[in-house]
Amino acid sequence: MAQREEMLALIRTAYAARGDGDVEGLVTAFHPEGHFTLMGDKGALELTGRMEGHPTLRGAFTQFTAAFGFESREILTELVDGDRVAVHSRVVVRYNPSGKTFSTEILDLFRFQDGKIAELIEFADTAQIKAMIA
């Protein structure tokens, strides 16, 4: 039970850092060799793909937070199985260059190693993101 609660607490801390635009707080939630993947067709949306390691994550998260602010997050479901966690959220996102906001749902799949996020695969509505930045 303790491991379950520790993983969920770290996820909530990472989500809070993302919401606050705290890139360093977000990066430190990841294992030094951890990776983040935004699923989608890279040909359709350049933001998609896999980023690995703290320096690369720091650069990517800096770009993401500069472009997109998370106004709010409602966690709809959390499922824990061993070292893996799935989180289904509803978020209100602001595209900073235009100030436009939209509501969407995200599915995050986490894998943990040594008490840190080793892998985060995020499924988001990339068509909605592409329309927002067009």
pLDDT for 2 equals 61
Instruction: Tell the residue number behind the tokens 């379950």, with chain if given.
Output: 4
Instruction: For the beta carbon of residue 77, count every other beta carbon within 10 angstroms.
Output: 9
Task: Tell me which of 12 and 125 has the higher pLDDT.
Answer: 12
Interatomic CA distance for residues 78 and 87, integer angstroms: 5
**54-103: per-residue pLDDT in tens?**
999 999 999 999 999 999 999 999 999 999 999 999 999 999 999 999 99
pLDDT for 73 equals 97
pLDDT for 21 equals 93
Q: Which domains, from first to last, does the chain contain?
A: 2-133 (3.10.450.50)
The pTM for the full model equals 0.92
Backbone angles phi, psi at 96, to 5 degrees: -60, -40
**8-41: per-residue pLDDT in tens?**
999 999 999 999 999 999 999 999 999 999 998 7
Q: Which two tokens stand for residue 36?
A: 């983040």
Burial label for 92, CB within 10 Å (0-12, 13-18, 19+), is: middle
The answer to whether residue 1 scores a pLDDT higher than 60 is no
Q: What is the mean pLDDT of residues 41-45?
A: 72
Q: Left if phi > 0, otherwise alpha if psi is -120 to 50, otherwise beta: which for 4?
A: alpha
